[in-house]
Copies of this chain bind each other. A is one copy, B any other.
Amino acid sequence: MVCCPYNAVMTFVNDTHNPALKSFVDSANTGTTDFPIQNLPFAVFRRAGSKEDFRCGVAIGDQVLDLTALGKMHLLSGDAAQAVQACSESSLNRFMALGAASWSALRASLSRLLSIDSPHEGVLRGCLVPQADVEYDLPARIGDYTDFYASVHHATNVGKLFRPDQPLLPNYKWVPIGYHGRASSVGVSGQALKRPVGQVCGAGQTVPVLQASRRLDFELEMGIFVGNGNALGSRVSIDEAPSHLFGMCLLNDWSARDIQGWEYQPLGPFLSKNFGTTISPWIVTNEALAPFRKPFVRDAADPQPLPYLTSDNNSAQGSLNVSLELLIETQAMRDTGTVPHSLSRGNYNDAAYWTPQQLIAHHTVNGCNLQPGDLLGTGTLSGPTADSLGSLLEITEGGKKAVTLHNGQTRTFLEDGDTIIMRAHCESDAAVRIGFGECRGVILAVEL
Which residues in A have some Cβ–Cβ distance to B below 8 Å?
143-144, 146, 149, 159, 169-171, 174-175, 177-185, 187, 193-194, 196-199, 201, 206-210, 232-233, 235, 256, 259, 262-272, 274-276, 303, 306-308, 362-363, 365-371, 374, 446
- CB–CB A268/B179 < 8 A: yes
Say yes or no: B369 contacts A149, CB within 8 Å. no
Give Cα distance in the complex from A132 to B143, angstroms.
32
B199 lies within 8 A of A303 (CB): no
Is B267 a contact of A177 with CB atoms below 8 Å?
yes
A182 touches which of B144, B187, B199, B274 (Cβ 8 Å): B144
B residues near A177, Cβ cutoff 8 Å: 263, 266-267, 270
**Quick check: B368 and A185 within 8 Å, CB to CB?**
yes
Cβ B368 vs Cβ A182 within 8 A? yes
Q: Which residues of B contact A374 (CB under 8 A)?
A: 184
Indicate whether A210 sits within 8 Å of B178 (C-beta atoms), given known contacts A183-B183, A185-B368, A232-B276.
Answer: no
Task: Report yes or no: A367 in contact with B268, Cβ–Cβ below 8 A.
Answer: no
User: Contacts A194-B367, A368-B271 hold; do A175 and B262 have CB atoms under 8 A apart?
Assistant: yes
State the CA gap A170–B261 with chains docked (Å). 12
Let me know if B368 and A274 touch, CB within 8 A.
yes
Nearest opposing residue in chain B for A206, CB measure: B170
Q: By CB atoms of chain B within 10 A, which of A210, A363, A366, A446 has the most? A: A366
The answer to whether B178 and A180 have CB atoms under 8 Å apart is no
Is A275 within 8 A of B368, CB to CB? yes
> In whole Å, how far is A370's beta carbon from the nearest beta carbon of chain B?
7
Residues of B within 8 A of A308 (CB): 210
A416 CB to nearest B CB, Å: 14
Chain B CB within 10 Å, residue with most, of A175, A180, A193, A259: A180
A79 CA to B277 CA, complexed, in Å: 37
Give the residue name and chain of the B residue nearest to A196 (CB): B366
Residues of B within 8 A of A194 (CB): 233, 367
How distant is the Cα of A159 from the Cα of B266 in the complex, in angstroms?
9
Beyond contacts A210-B306, A271-B365: 13 other A-B pairs, Cβ-Cβ < 8 A, are A143-B183, A170-B206, A171-B208, A171-B262, A171-B263, A174-B208, A177-B270, A179-B180, A210-B365, A266-B268, A267-B269, A272-B366, A275-B366
Tell me how far the C-beta of A227 lies from the nearest C-beta in chain B, rounded to whole angstroms. Answer: 15
- Which of B183, B210, B275, B365 has a CB less than 8 Å from the CB of A367? B275
Residue from B159, B181, B208 within 8 A of A306 (CB atoms)? B208
Name the 7 nearest CB pairs between A and B, nearest first: A268-B268, A196-B366, A180-B180, A179-B267, A267-B268, A271-B366, A194-B233
| Chain B residues with CB below 8 A from A367, complex form | 193-194, 196-197, 275-276, 446
CB distance from A359 to the nearest CB of B (A): 11
CA distance A436 to B159 in the complex (A): 45
B199 touches A266 (CB 8 A): no
Q: How far is the CA of A175 from the CA of B207 in the complex (A)?
A: 11
- Give the shortest distance, in Å, between A236 (CB) and chain B (any CB): 13
Whether A256 contacts B171 in the complex (CB less than 8 A), given A179-B180, A374-B184, comes out as: no
Tell me which residues across on chain B come within 8 A of A185, comparing CB atoms.
232, 368-369
A264 to B169, CA, bound (A): 11
Task: Let me know if B198 and A366 touch, CB within 8 A.
Answer: yes
* In contact, B210 and A149 (Cβ under 8 angstroms): no
A193 to chain B: closest residue by CB: B233
A386 → chain B closest CB, angstroms: 23
**A377 smallest CB distance to B (angstroms):** 12
A235: B residues at CB distance < 8 A:
197
A259 nearest in chain B by CB position: B366
Task: Tell me, rounded to whole Å, the shortest Cβ–Cβ distance linking A379 to chain B.
Answer: 9
> A171 to B265, Cβ gap below 8 A?
yes
Bound CA–CA A197/B308 (angstroms): 11
B-side contacts of A208, CB under 8 Å: 171, 174-175, 306
Residues of B contacting A171 in the complex (Cβ-Cβ under 8 angstroms): 199, 201, 208, 262-263, 265
6 CB contacts below 8 A, A to B, read A143-B184, A179-B268, A183-B183, A197-B367, A210-B308, A232-B275
